Structure 1
Amino acid sequence: MPVNIPECPPSLKSIQHYLKTASEHDARDLVVAYWCRLHALQVGLKLTNKKTPEETKMLMGLMDWLEEQKTAHKENDAITNEVAAQAHLENYALKLFLYADKQDREQNYGKNVVKAFYTAGMIYDVLTTFGELTDEAAQNRKYAKWKAAYIHNCLKNGETPVPGPLPTDEQEQDKDNEGSESDNQPAPTGFPQNPGFSPQITPATPPVPTSFNSTLPDQNAAMKAASQLPPVPYTPDPNPGGFIPYDPSQQSQPSQPTYGDSSTMVAQLTPDQLAKAQKYCKWASSALNYDDVKTAIDNLKFALELLQTGRDPA
């Protein structure tokens, strides 16, 4: 379906990055495209109190497109349900982030790794639509944006980027104190394959350049490369997350909860508790995409305990 939205005026240039990310995903992942444009609309509405005719026309066009998509895809929970949407975007952003980090660690530098880091940062921005980011997501967003700018600037200046996080001043001092043997020590490698990584980054984070898109051709290449496994497909599920809703008519006699025991009593849960249990299930599924069995088990245990007792163990 063609996207008939008026051109973004220069006064709204701060939302152009989200609109561009959306256009890159129209054919690849409509859920990402939808929420990128919704985030752009929300940011655009807050920019000025008095809108020019051009700004109003463009923002109204965004509203119309969003309403059309919501009506046309009302069966897609990742568009109509914020919990499912958040899980979808978290999974997609993490997948891009891990792909970019792997390329960086292997020193496979080029437009793909810059684009993947940059797009992951944009999607982490979009996730703020659902509320404040977790500490891990906030760190990943900051790191991804910094790394995109850093690698781009190195390539532009003919320099070889340093893989992974750059050492802090304190780490540099420790290295100097260790003597010459430290020169042969390899750089730390590999993020853990789960959202819990909090990378160490330099205090001063250079801004992501706004011009690199025009200097790096074929900007869809990163998403294609990151999608060796398809880019986080989402199939609407009539029972999202796989949790069992509370049904008073089926309540059994109280007993001590035991993981894996289907006869265990189901606690009476609030909508917020059900939504949190669903997140744990989604995070477990996401961890399995990266063969992180331990994180998957931990999140499933959290979901079970919350469903059985009403207590959030995290």
Structure 2
Amino acid sequence: MSLSRTRIVRSVRLPEAVEARIAREFDAPSPPPEPLNTAALFRQAEETQAEALLVTHHAAIKGDDVSRIPSSVRLVATVSVGLDHLDVKAIRSRGIAVSNTPDVLTECNADLALLLILAAARRAAEYTALVRKGWGRDLAMDEMLGMRISNKTLGIVGMGRIGQAVARRARGFGMTVLYNNRRRLASELEHGATWVESLEDMLPRCQIISLHLPGSDDTDGMVDQAFLSRLPRGAIFVNAARGRLVNEDALIEALRSGQLAGAGLDVCRNEPNPDPRLLELPNLFMTPHVGSATVETRTEMGMLALDNVAAMAADRPLLSPVEA
């Protein structure tokens, strides 16, 4: 390894263009064929005296792991916007900077939320299952009917960057959009949506509800039986945010009972091993936590992480620092 280039290690193989930049500009081991866990990442960092760690949720740095970060490390750059896998306060208390990759994945995550809304409302999982079994018969006029989303009311819980992008897209379907947030946004950020201060007041007005807020101890399990019971019977529930927001026992019961007509999930509590009861539900459409999974977005995420590493190495301010 050259002493003139910044030394990094990464917990996962990154998109082709990002890997090419790493090869050109940084000293790094070969990309791992499988994601590294925290211990393996730290071993590589110790062996190479890495100055920066590029991580994802595969290599969480929390609890006792923070004290084990090799002393050479100056930056933990997560290739994500979410921070559930990092104890930012503890890492920064060691004098190690933290960066993430906001903004660049907003549009892709909003696209996926619309995919989940459409797939759940139009019974995509059931239609696909029928076709894969051979189809074989005409459907009756009143059989396997879904919900038209145009002109329905969409409730957005959490009106950050992604929630705002979902609101913009919903306008194209002629939807009425309500949102619940800690505070009302400036009118130019609402994109025609209406703020409802009380979540309890908003839920009964929504045929479709979509979560777009971070997971935390405060929001853990917030979607429970009481939450779901406030929705109109036959509503659609979508979660492209964090699995820990949802009490899955309550969600399963709501889908079984018809309180929810359908659900679209990109996340669950026990990733990557969902509760088997979820997978048995015909009215659940689920994707494997792939909100940012396009070539364009994953490349931009990796590049922003490397931009932060380059800024750290040049003693410039990080482009997207995370404060404790």
By relative contact order (CA 8 Å, sep 6+), the higher-ranking structure is: 2
TM-score by length of structure 1 reads 0.22
Higher helix share: 1
